[in-house]
Amino acid sequence: MSPFLLTRTLPVDATDAALRADVLEGLTRQPKTLPPKWFYDAHGSDLFEEITRLDAYYPTRAEREILIARAGEIAAASGARTLIELGSGSSEKTRHLLDALPALHTYVPVDVSESALTAAAGALLAERPGLSVHALIADFTRPLELPDSPGPRLVAFLGGTLGNLLPHERADFLRSVRAGLAPGDGLLLGTDLVKDEATLVAAYDDPAGVTAAFNRNVLTVVDRELGADFQLGDFEHVAVWDPDNEWIEMRLRARRALSVKIRELDLVVSFEEGEELRTEISAKFREEGVRDELAAAGLRLERWWTDTRGRFALSLATAG
């Protein structure tokens, strides 16, 4: 049997249908919103990689620090023979876990991008020819049909992506993960932690304007895919801290009153001067809050690791 399998559980036209639905719903409501997943076309992914190298953007470095320092402990605590990574992308950070799991038999990367999965799998198999890789083209926010693989299984959801979900979406997601876990399986979860407002805002509003370009890229995606006529210069990047919800919001603020035509939806969207379109939330967490959210989904927090400066956390949870 080939060490690499690729399974599509996401219909070929699902991305186009989802974009249409999200744009129609998000731009006809008040306040206007678009989901952050639409940042990530090829250009948006390149911009995000550039963001992770900025001095002010600490989450990627902080999480990598934990993975490097604690991979052995994570491996020992989980005993995983199968590693399932949700939103795997390039699988770069996962290599620290792969190296630390001596009994690992199967790696299951899950992503919506076939090209990202294929490229990552090729690189991994060149380095680890004995590893079995079963990639899934799937939307991890929906219930997953995972391949048969030896347990225990460890589901990894890294990068703080949980924070991009609204509270009710997080609850649904964690319940869905719990439903797929057998006794002995675990969830490794990355969460950015609450800290001072200045540090948080700086991470999402760099002076070089890379994050601003990343934010506006969602408009480029809508222009290209749905025949819209957004002009990027008409919108200003905004990042604000919401202390009540303890999350960062990224928004695009209209510099003037304007109308946008979206040809493929036969839709005209009007913006008042100063009106804001929310493109992302990035929730920040506290240990007790993570514990409570996991418990509500039937998961028990077992281990909690942070970087040396206490900015980011990885937690290991099991079925409670």
Which pLDDT tens digit goes with each residue over 51-81? 999 999 999 999 999 999 999 999 999 999 9
Looking at residue 2, its pLDDT comes to 52
The CA-based dihedral angle spanning residues 300, 306, 312, 318, taken in that order and rounded to the nearest 10 degrees: -20
The yes-or-no verdict on residue 1 having pLDDT over 50 is no
Q: Is the peptide bond before 59 cis (omega within 30 degrees of 0)?
A: no
Task: Decide if 111 contacts 87 (C-beta within 8 A).
Answer: yes
Average pLDDT rounded to a whole number, residues 157-161: 94
pLDDT for 211-252, tens place per residue? 999 999 999 999 999 999 999 999 999 999 999 999 999 999
| 47 has a pLDDT exceeding 90 | yes
pLDDT of residue 88: 80
Domain 1-211+286-320, architecture per CATH:
3-Layer(aba) Sandwich (3.40)
Chain centre to alpha carbon of residue 35:
11
Angle ∠(50,251,52) on CA atoms, nearest 5: 15
- Written as six digits, the tokens of 220 are 């480029």
Listed by start position, the domains of the chain span: 1-211+286-320
Residue closest to 204 by CA, chosen among 147, 283, 95: 283
Cα–Cα dist 69/92, whole Å: 16
- What are 249-283's pLDDT values in tens digits? 999 999 999 999 999 999 999 999 999 999 999 99
